[in-house]
Amino acid sequence: MVAVGAGGVGGVTPAVAQSAALTKEQAAALTAYTKALRAFRAILAQRRAQIDAKEELPERPGQAPYLARLQLMSTYKDLTDAVPSRIGRPNRLGIPPAYFDAANEPLMEEYGALFKVMQAPPASAQASPTPFKDVVDLARAIARARGLDAATADAAGRISLGLFYAETNGNQNIGNARSNQYKGSLQTGVAEDRNGQRAWAALRPRIAALDPAVGARDKKETARVGDGDQRFNHWTAVRNGLMNAHADLFPQIPAILKMLPDQINQMKLFELIQIIPSPTRAALASGSFETYRISDPRIMGYLRNNSIFTFGKADRAKTSATFREILDAMWLFNDKFERARAKFEEIKAQEKSQAR
């Protein structure tokens, strides 16, 4: 039998040393985690070798590494539940230590580096020199055109910046190594992008009248992309993505701010519109958003595919959840939303400085 300490297999902490041996449950958890760690290392090494050798990658090359990462974190949570002394130091990734061993940070860095290659923007992509401000400017303009005041339009800008970070980690025009459908700065499909184009066309005259600078920029970017895929022009991708899924909820932002005062939770709600739109809209319409419960296995599957209720036996066993529980389970988004909030404050400070 092997004692398990916070430093890894073979290290003995005082708590574990008292029993000197693992129980059957603890040993099974350790075996599962060791297997998951080995598998994660193997798929990362395989993808790195394929990329370095310039070999053709499999379809959706990021899916296997993604699933291996989920399994690594899930089995580690099972291990720390079984052996609490295994919970180690905080990690640079902002993941709760019960879910991730900080010793594996280099593996996660390699994971990120591989995805950067696997879902790099196509050569034809049209980047923006101001990708973050574009998101804020578009969201504000849409909000004002929907009749919201300046303060609420600012909230729309901050929330939309959160979506950009949640969907692409703040990277413009990327592909998707896990999907052949969703692409671009807000990760939309072809149908969603076209729907957003139609909605924007209907609102554009009012936006141009209220904010001529946004109208002029839009005219320029629309001409620039021409007949190309608007998902790979950052401006049009964000514009269409917001108009497709989120703009019709902007008028509800004042009520949402009262219902969810925490800015991170506000961003989570709008990200849920991206992940499970119909149930989220139903919860908003119910008058009791946080207690509204979903139990459809298909919807729970969508959540798990987005790292919600994914890690550890307790989460995997859940067959239903309230939206309060869903918001709390979206902790893996927290770091992205914190960075979005900081970037928004940076943009606001720059605007204030330029206005002097």
Distance of CA 252 to the CA centre of its chain: 22
Mean pLDDT value across residues 113-139: 98
DSSP secondary structure letter of residue 27: H
Average pLDDT over residues 107-116: 98
pTM beyond 0.75: yes
Where are the chain's structural domains? 21-118, 131-355
Q: Model confidence over 301-338: pLDDT tens digits?
A: 999 999 999 999 999 999 999 999 999 999 999 999 99
Residue 3: pLDDT over 70: no
Instruction: Decide which of 15 and 86 is more confident.
Output: 86
Determine the 3-state secondary structure of 20 from DSSP.
coil
Query: 30: burial class by Cβ within 10 Å (0-12, 13-18, 19+)?
Result: buried
Under the banding of pLDDT at 50, 70 and 90, the label for residue 262 is: very high
pLDDT at 356: 77
For the cut 90, the answer to whether the pLDDT of residue 9 exceeds it is no
Q: Read off the pLDDT of each residue in 157-179 and give the average, rounded to a whole number.
A: 97
Reported as a pLDDT band with limits 50, 70 and 90, residue 8 is very low
- Of 177, 181, 165, the closest CA to residue 65 belongs to 177
Helices (H), the chain: 14-17, 24-52, 63-82, 105-118, 131-145, 150-168, 190-210, 212-225, 234-245, 253-259, 263-275, 277-286, 297-304, 313-316, 323-329, 334-355
Longest Cα–Cα distance in the chain? 74
| φ and ψ of 331, to 5 deg | -65, -25
So what's the pLDDT on residue 275? 96
The predicted-structure confidence for 53-85, as pLDDT tens digits, reads as follows: 999 999 999 999 999 999 999 999 999 999 999
Q: CA-to-CA distance for 317 and 201, rounded, in angstroms?
A: 45
Compute φ and ψ for 333, nearest 5 degrees: -85, -15
* The pLDDT of residue 197: 98
Q: What is the mean pLDDT of the chain?
A: 93
Query: What is residue 7's predicted lDDT score, i.e. its pLDDT?
Result: 35
Assess whether pLDDT exceeds 70 at residue 184: yes
pLDDT in tens, 225-250: 999 999 999 999 999 999 999 999 99
Q: How confident is the model at residue 4 (pLDDT cuts 50, 70, 90)?
A: very low
The span from the CA of 191 to the CA of 182, in Å, is 10
**Mean pLDDT, range 195-210, rounded to an integer:** 97
Among 86, 104, 83, 102, smallest CA distance to 94 is for 102
Rounded distance between C-alpha atoms, residue 204 and residue 201, angstroms? 5
Query: For residue 144, is pLDDT > 80?
Result: yes
Q: Is 318 exposed, middle or buried (0-12, 13-18, 19+ CB in 10 A)?
A: middle
pLDDT at 198 over 70: yes
pLDDT given for residue 355 in this prediction = 81
- Report percent pLDDT > 70 for the chain: 94
Confidence check: pLDDT of 212 > 80:
yes
Residue-by-residue DSSP string for 194-254 = HHHHHHHHHHHHHHHHH-HHHHHHHHHHHHHHTTS-GGGBHHHHHHHHHHHHTGGGGGGHH
As a whole number, mean pLDDT of residues 248-274 equals 97
Cα distance between residue 52 and residue 268, in whole Å: 37
Q: Using alpha carbons only, how large is the chain's radius of gyration in Å?
A: 22
